[in-house]
Structures are given as structure tokens and as C-alpha cells.
Structure 1
Amino acid sequence: MSPDADARSTGYARYTLALLAVLNFLNYADRYVLGAVLEPVRAEFGLSGTEAGLLGSVFMVVYMCVAPLTGYLGDRARRTRIVALCALAWSLATAATALAGSYAQLLVLRALVGVGEAGYAAIAPSLVADRFTPDRRGRALAWFYLAIPVGSALGFVVGGLVAAAWGFRAAFVVAGAPGLVLAALAWRLPEPPRGALDSAALRPAEPLSPRATWQRLVRTPAWVVNTAATALMTFTMGGLAFWMPAFLQRTYDLAVDQANLMFGGATVAAGLLGTFVGGYLGDLRQRNDPAGYFVVSGWGLLVGAPCVLALPLLAGPEAVVALSFVAEFFLFLNTSPLNAALVASVPAHLRASGFAINIFLIHAFGDAVSPTWIGWVSDRVGLGVGLATMAVPVAIGGMLLVASARWVRRWPGGLAHVRP
């Protein structure tokens, strides 16, 4: 079978996407199970709001620092083996959190989860991209990134239910165990040929040095704009995901399982709908508009911003959860288009590095900061005010994307344009 025919193999493509998508569900479930049980963890270890927020931030700091290293490896080594080892690492660290006896141990284990998840997030999207033609990638990536709402909700809902029945420590065991099995399956995945389904301009060349890779990426305006807008969105999404269950518990005196079931349900419903609608609208708009991905994403963020601002101002938990559904729908609308735009902006031999450096930057300026920021504001003027500040970054990100769409239409090559 030729490389092109192998890459197009329907069976390989669907199996690769299914396995990587399920692993991505677990990736986000393991990431957000801590948010589901944050209040009981805070109570047992006697943590302040700032200390609790730091548990989220330390994960992200490690995650963003490791991602460029694994991305560099992903452009040079067998990617399927790397994602399998990363899945094994984060799953073991999540399950081991059940044994933590101190705040320092919690910090170390959350950092180890960040190591595993960083490698997976940097490399797995390039495996998906190499199994699908450009006109189908937006929808394929929609399935892959459906893990953000579904996996996050899984972490919230299962974490809350397990914690209510058997305590918060059991929630970490239940979240971590499935990844151990799927890591073994990922080890046996066939490696797709790099860039076989891309145009000649984006097909593999010789790997670049780290410095040359960075220089190539920053000379790609669409990659730069995409990264900046995604960082602003990630600041908001990470802060909301980490603190919303705690807000519902504190403000409306809800039980841990009730708060997580309500917020998790809204997240999965909004994420399912928003991710699929965004993937469909992005591919549809991009067919006739070289800036279509940016337009769909930008307007989603602009409409979502006032909804985020109003979240802590409502009178009851039902109203808050209903509005969170609306806000999250418009925020999740950008997930598939922005990731498809990132794939379209860099050649195949730089994709793992392009995703990895993107991950570093969006988390360095996004959710590595926002959980601690909200905790800091909460200690001083209240958690509701901290959550309301999350409207500002997405409003700025939306304006940046909508404004940049005009430039993309003028650039030779559109999203793939490279400055001299």
C-alpha cells in the first residue's frame, strides 16, 4: 500500500480518531476531576483560595513547559509511542493522587499529570491531521476536541458522584484507571505518513532546529493571531472550569455531587453542540472565505463574553447553570475552527512543534494564571467578582480574530502565508 493510500485508509483513520478521542476524553477528565472535588480537598488540607488555585496553576505551568520538548520529539520520532507513554504517565499520576498526604504531595502529583498530558496534547492532533484530508479535518478535529466538554464534564460529574459516595480520594482512582488500558492500545497504533494528504507546499521537509522552528512560526501571521486569541480564550475557560463548581457550592449551598452534576451537565451539552456546530460552520465558511475559521471563532467569543460577565449576577443556581450553557456554547464554538486553522497555517513537518509551542503560550498566558488570579480576587472581594473578570479576555480575543480576518483575506496564501 502506498503512503497516500495508507493515510487515507478509512479503517485506520476511524480507529485512530476513535482511540485518540477517547484518550483525550480521559485527558480532560483527569485534568478536571480536581475541580470537582476542590472544596473537600480544600477542607481536608486547610487551603486558602490562593493555595487551592495554585493546584490548577502548577499543573498548567508544567504542562506548558513540557509541551515544546515533546513537540520537538514528535516531529522527529514515532508519535504513537510517545502518546502511549504520555497517557500511561498522566493516568498513573492521577490515580496516585488518592494517596497524597500533604499539600506538597498534591502539587507534585498535579505537576506529573501535567507532564503526561503535555506530550499527548502536543502530538495527538498531528496524528489526526495525517489521517484526514484538509476538507474533512475540521470535522475530524471536532470529534477529537469534543473531549474538552465531554471529558471535562466527565471529570466533574463522575468526580462529584464518586466523592459523594466514597470520598474525594476514590474519585482520583476512578479517573486514572481507564487510561492505563488505553495507553497499551495506543502503543500498537500504526504510524501514519507525515503530510501525505496535504498540498505539496505543506508536505514534510527536513526538520528544523528549535531556533529555526520558532523563527518560522513567528513569521506565520495566522499562527501568531491564532495563538494569541486561543490564549485569551483559555484564560477564561480554565478559570471557569476550575472555580464554577466551588462557586455553586459556596453561593447556593449545594452538595458537591449536585454542583458538579449541574455544571458538568451544562458543560457537556454546550460543548457537544458548540464543538460540532463550530466544526461544521468553520469548514462551511472556510470553503469560500480564507478567513472563515477566524470569523466563526471570533464571533463566538464576542457573543460569549457578556454571558460570562453576567454569570455571578444571577439569583439562583438554575439560572446560573442555564446561562453557563449559553456562554459555554459560544466559547466552545471556536474549538474546531481554531485548531483547523492552526493545522492549515504550518507545514506537516512542523505541526507537532506548532501545536506544542502554541500549547506553551496559550497556557502560560491562559489557565496557568487564571485559577490563581480568581482565587486571589476571591480572597479579597469575593469569588463572583473573580469569575466576572473572565469576560474581558474572551472579548479581546473575539475582537482580535474578527479584525484579523480582514488581513487573512489580503495575505497571499491566506492562513499559510509566511512573512519574508
Structure 2
Amino acid sequence: MAKHQHMEVEDDLRTRERIILLILAAVQFTTIVDFMIVMPLAPQLMRTLAISPAQFGMIVSSYTFAAGAAGLVASSIVDRFARRATFMTLNAGFLLGTLACAIAPNYHALIAARVFTGAFGGILGGMTLAIIGDVFPEERRGRATGSLMTGFALASVLGVPFGLYLGTNYGWHVPFVVLAVFGIPALMLTPFALPPLDTHVGKDHGHPLRSLSETFTHTNHLKAFALIVTLMIGSFTVFPFLSAYLVSNVGMTEQQLPLVYIAGGVLTLIASPIIGRLADRYGKLNVYRLVAPGSAVMMLLITHLPPVPTALAIAVFGGLMLCNVGRMIPAMAMVTSSVEPRRRGAFLSANSSVQHMASGLGAYLGGAIVAAGPDGKILHFGTVGWIAAISTLLSLWLAGRIRIVDAGVPSSLATQAVSAEEISLVAAAEATVDVGQPMLGCEVEG
């Protein structure tokens, strides 16, 4: 009977974990599409708002820099509150910001809405990883991170192409309206699916400035931040300019671009859970060291790609996306495990800030190097590819220096499940004693 009860508790635990992952992936999907959809809408935004390319760049970077600044502030106070309440507040603020983007009447209003959305969305990404760290033990964290990455895959397969279709046919406001509405179900389900995740609340976190200082002076934290910086520079020096390069230099048409995102997203969707399981089975660092060199090679290949058939260009882009997610899953799992559970919210909020700042730096660096030739072709993109490849190879050394500090620590859900099982077993034992006690007091007749 005890074994049967244990199996029921295990089944219940796995079911709750899957529901939590579904909610987190849905939120991840919404935040990624919100961030990505602005870039393919560039021609329409510049035309309808009568803005220059530099002003459009401000629309993109305003989100990134707001997310970075908000992450710094959050890192000093976020561990003082329960994860569930914080997650819901951030998600609600993000959805309000997305709705504000939808109703923005002009350029300046849109900038303000992007700042508001980025402030909440940037911290929301860190809080999502903090919940992964609290709910899933280290030996299953790679798989959970891989499942979370399906939000990114679905954003590429469905979100961005569908958002681009809506924006092209019905106006740039419409994708933001749809995103805000889509995010409501996950927000409403959160209080029922997530436990409070408040075991860290009430512990001595010190003054907010002290907490911020400890986050950015801890040696292991700095190693994790350095890994994130190399990862982002290894991506965002290249990715913002890929669409323009594929059209201007490789020979694709703008109408064919959604095929690139769909192909890359499908590969990511298939590969993410597989890579997560491999990372748990063979070690996050081992998987990272296997995939990262392939990512560097793909960066060089796509940034030096000559005019080729569309199918080949799509295949190369798909390979790049596959390698990118292959390195991100074990890397983020290692970063999440590099901090003590009681500091996890502050650290991952700071990590989100570092991630956004490094992304902005990478995009700025790439923009400072590439140029448009007289014939409209993108120049010096190969140089950007070398920078991305070198940064990726540098990350191999940094990844090996991160120390895992919470291996073997039980998850919050597992702790609750064990407690529930213990209560159930004690109750069963007491019931057995209660049934047996009258028999001990009976007199034998005859």
C-alpha cells in the first residue's frame, strides 16, 4: 500500500511539473514573439510612423535597455517576495505593456510603451528560470530548460510568421492586440498551477544595495555572467542582420523569409527536449562542449554564404538555429545551477539584465561594422561572423569554470510531495493502530 501511495505521489508530481512547464513555455512564447515581431515589421513601422532607420533602431533598443535597467533594480529586491506572486505581477505588467504598444498612436508613445514592456518582460525571463530552478532538481533541469525552449521554437514557427501576416494585412497594431489576449489564459492559470515558492522569503537578504553588491561580486556569479556575455555577443552580432543579408546578398525574397523562421523553429522544436535529456544524462558541460564548436562553424558559414538556392539557404539557417539552441539549453541550465537557491531570484534577475545589455552591445557592435554597399548588398558581414565565432569559442573555456552549487538540493515540488506522502503514511499507520487497539483490550471467552 505504501508503494502504491508513493507511485501516486510521483505521478501527481510529474503532472504538476508538466502543467507548470506548459504555463512557463506559454509565457516564454509571448515574450519572445513580442520582442521579435518588431524587427520584421520595420518597413511598415518606418512608413506609417514616418521615422528613419535610426529611430526604428531606438524602438528595438528601448526594450532591451529598459529590460537591462529593470533587471538591475529587481536583482536587489526580488528574493524578498514569493516567486508565484512576483511572476504574476511581472506577467500582468508585461501584458499591459503589450496592449499599450497596440494602442500607441505615434512614435513617442510607442517608445514609451516599449520601455514599459521591456521593464517587465526582461525581469519575467529571469523569474521564469528562477521558477525552473525552484521546481526542478539539478538532475532534471536540463530537460526542463529544453522544454522551456519550445516557447522560442513555437515563436519562430508560428508566432513571428503569423504576427507578420497580421501586421502586413491588418496593420502593425494587430499583432500586439493578439499577443496581449493570448497571454491572459496563462496569467489566470498561474495561481492554481504554481505553488507559492516562498521558502526563501523571510531569510536575511540584507540591504538591497548589499544584495546587489553580493550578486555582482560573487566569483561564481561573475563567471556565469561572463558566459552569458559571450553567448549573446556570439548571437546578436549576427542575428539582427541575417534577414537583410539573406535578401540582399544570398538572393532570397522578402516573401520567402517566413520559411526561414519556420524551418529553424521546427528544428528547434524537435531538438530542444532531446538536447535537454542528453544534457541531464551526459552532463550539461559535456553537451555544451560538443555543440558550441558547431555553432561557431555555422556562424562563419552563414555570414560568408554566397548566392545559393533558397532550399540551401534555409538549411544553413536551420542548422544555425539547431546549434544555437543546442548550446543555450545546457548553458542556461548550468547558469541556473550556479547560484544558491536563496539567492536565485536576485541572481537570475541580474543575469537577465546582463543578457539584455550584452544583446544590445552585440547588436550595436554588428551595426557599427556592417554597411550597405551602393548596390544594396550588406558589406563586412564576414567580419561580424568571425567575432561571433571567436566569442563562441571563448565561451567553451568560461563554461568549464562555472561551479554547480545546488546539485542534490530537492525541488520545492518534491519537498511538498514528500511531506504529503509522509502525512499520508502516518495517517495510515494511525488508522491501523486504531483498528488494532480494541482487539488488544478484548477478553477471550471460554
Superposition TM-score tier, normalisation by shorter sequence? 0.7 to 0.9
Q: What is the 5 A alignment of 1:149-160?
A: 149-160=153-164
Deviations 1:194-228 (A, max 9, x none): 679xxxxxx99632444544554456555433322
Q: CA deviation at 1:109?
A: 1.5
* Structure 1: tracts of 5 or more residues without a match: 197-202, 409-413
Which structure is larger by alpha-carbon Rg, 1 or 2? 2
Secondary structure at 2:304's aligned position in 1? helix
Instruction: Tell me, in whole angstroms, the C-alpha distance in 1 between the residues paired with 2:377 and 2:343.
Output: 41
Instruction: Tell me, in whole angstroms, the C-alpha distance in 2 between the residues paired with 1:275 and 1:394.
Output: 22
Specify whether residues 303 and 373 from structure 1 end up closer, same or farther in structure 2 by C-alpha distance, changes over 3 A only.
closer
Instruction: Tell me, in whole angstroms, the C-alpha distance in 2 between the residues paired with 1:176 and 1:239.
Output: 30
Q: Are 1:354 and 2:347 counterparts?
A: yes
Specify whether residues 292 and 249 from structure 1 end up closer, same or farther in structure 2 by C-alpha distance, changes over 3 A only.
closer
Size of the aligned set, in residue pairs, is 395
Instruction: Tell me, in whole angstroms, the C-alpha distance in 1 between the residues paired with 2:364 and 2:377.
Output: 12
Secondary structure at 1:15's aligned position in 2? helix
Specify whether residues 327 and 310 from structure 1 end up closer, same or farther in structure 2 by C-alpha distance, changes over 3 A only.
farther
C-alpha contact 2:246 2:252 (8 A) present in aligned 1 = yes
C-alpha contact 1:64 1:118 (8 A) present in aligned 2 = yes
Specify whether residues 274 and 159 from structure 1 end up closer, same or farther in structure 2 by C-alpha distance, changes over 3 A only.
same
Instruction: Tell me, in whole angstroms, the C-alpha distance in 2 between the residues paired with 1:404 and 1:38.
Output: 36
C-alpha contact 2:127 2:349 (8 A) present in aligned 1 = yes
Residue of structure 1 in register with 2:230 after alignment: 232
Q: What is the 5 A alignment of 1:88-167?
A: 88-167=92-171
Residue of structure 2 in register with 1:271 after alignment: 268
Q: Are 1:327 and 2:320 counterparts?
A: yes
The amino acid of 1:292's aligned partner reads: N
TM-score (norm 1): 0.82
Instruction: Tell me, in whole angstroms, the C-alpha distance in 2 between the residues paired with 1:246 and 1:91.
Output: 30
Q: CA deviation at 1:64?
A: 0.9
Deviations 1:172-208 (A, max 9, x none): 2222221133222224443354679xxxxxx996324
Q: What is the 5 A alignment of 1:276-355?
A: 276-286=273-283, 291-292=285-286, 294-296=288-290, 298-311=292-305, 313-355=306-348
Residue of structure 2 in register with 1:398 after alignment: 392
Instruction: Tell me, in whole angstroms, the C-alpha distance in 1 between the residues paired with 2:168 and 2:104.
Output: 19
Specify whether residues 383 and 228 from structure 1 end up closer, same or farther in structure 2 by C-alpha distance, changes over 3 A only.
farther
Instruction: Tell me, in whole angstroms, the C-alpha distance in 2 between the residues paired with 1:23 and 1:143.
Output: 13
Q: CA deviation at 1:316?
A: 4.6
C-alpha contact 2:230 2:394 (8 A) present in aligned 1 = no
TM-score (norm 2): 0.77
Residue of structure 1 in register with 2:405 after alignment: 416
Deviations 1:221-260 (A, max 9, x none): 55433322322322353455544445555665734xx344
C-alpha contact 2:371 2:380 (8 A) present in aligned 1 = no
Task: Indicate the percent of aligned positions where both proteins have the same amino acid.
Answer: 17
Deviations 1:381-420 (A, max 9, x none): 5663365444244323332232345656xxxxx4339xxx
The amino acid of 2:395's aligned partner reads: L
* Structure 2: tracts of 5 or more residues without a match: 1-8, 407-446
The amino acid of 1:98's aligned partner reads: A
Residue of structure 1 in register with 2:443 after alignment: none
C-alpha contact 1:129 1:343 (8 A) present in aligned 2 = yes
Instruction: Tell me, in whole angstroms, the C-alpha distance in 2 between the residues paired with 1:237 and 1:112.
Output: 25
Instruction: Tell me, in whole angstroms, the C-alpha distance in 2 between the residues paired with 1:23 and 1:347.
Output: 25
Residue of structure 2 in register with 1:199 after alignment: none
Instruction: Tell me, in whole angstroms, the C-alpha distance in 1 between the residues paired with 2:379 and 2:234.
Output: 13
The amino acid of 1:229's aligned partner reads: L
Instruction: Tell me, in whole angstroms, the C-alpha distance in 2 between the residues paired with 1:398 and 1:274.
Output: 20
Specify whether residues 283 and 302 from structure 1 end up closer, same or farther in structure 2 by C-alpha distance, changes over 3 A only.
farther
Q: Are 1:176 and 2:184 counterparts?
A: no
Residue of structure 1 in register with 2:84 after alignment: 80
